[in-house]
Structure 1
Amino acid sequence: MYGNATWNHTTFNNGSYIPFVYQVHLPGIDRQGRNFLIDLEVDPMKYPSPYGGNTLNGRFTFYDQPNTLSWFETDLELNDKVTWGNITESVVDNTGHIDRQYFPLYASIFSPTGQQVSHMWHQIN
């Protein structure tokens, strides 16, 4: 199952954003060649916390980029479904956190490939 992975803000019916609530769509293929699809609404129950608290205020050097911003969103409410092969299961959980970085330059500008595709990095744990 190929396709584009998306990470979008959830919106109210009038089109305005719901702060810190996301729709995540992650299609892929596992090592055995089976399709998978993760479709989740992700709703952190706590406000974003900056990396390093008041000491760093979320700013540090990462991938040779000073002033990279980093923050966590915790106590996730996860709702929707996961499909693996021909099995689809509902997901309702309250666990984990989002680790986010915003890079001043493209995230991989100093990598060997030098691909320049995004300033943002999101990771759900």
Structure 2
Amino acid sequence: MKYLLAILLLVVPMMGMAQTQALQTGYAVYYGGLKDKETPLTAAHPTLPFGTWVEVKHQKTGKTIRVKINDRGPFGNKQRIIDLSIAAAKALGIISEGVAPVEIRVVSGN
């Protein structure tokens, strides 16, 4: 029993760390995409698998949201790392800014 407890004490914290590793820092923008009713908290990323959930942290305000990757983009500007749906941009508070500095972390796979 004590060996099982020791293993759990070592493995569980490492599992949590692996699921929340920093992936990228850059800028988020928002795009129309599909209607908000269909995709309330979604985003586009150039390489992450569809269905991946990421935490997006606004670097100026510290506000965070979780979004599901369901599209590809942004394209043409390497500093822009994620396109947020309008609902996600509203939740993060970037509608008035249009573009915001963010950090994204993968919180789960698909």
- What band does the TM-score fall into relative to the shorter chain? under 0.3
- Decide which structure has greater helix share: 2
TM-score, normalization: structure 1?
Answer: 0.21
Q: TM-score, normalised by structure 2?
A: 0.23
Q: Which has the higher contact order (CA 8 A, sep 6+)?
A: 2
More strand by share: 1
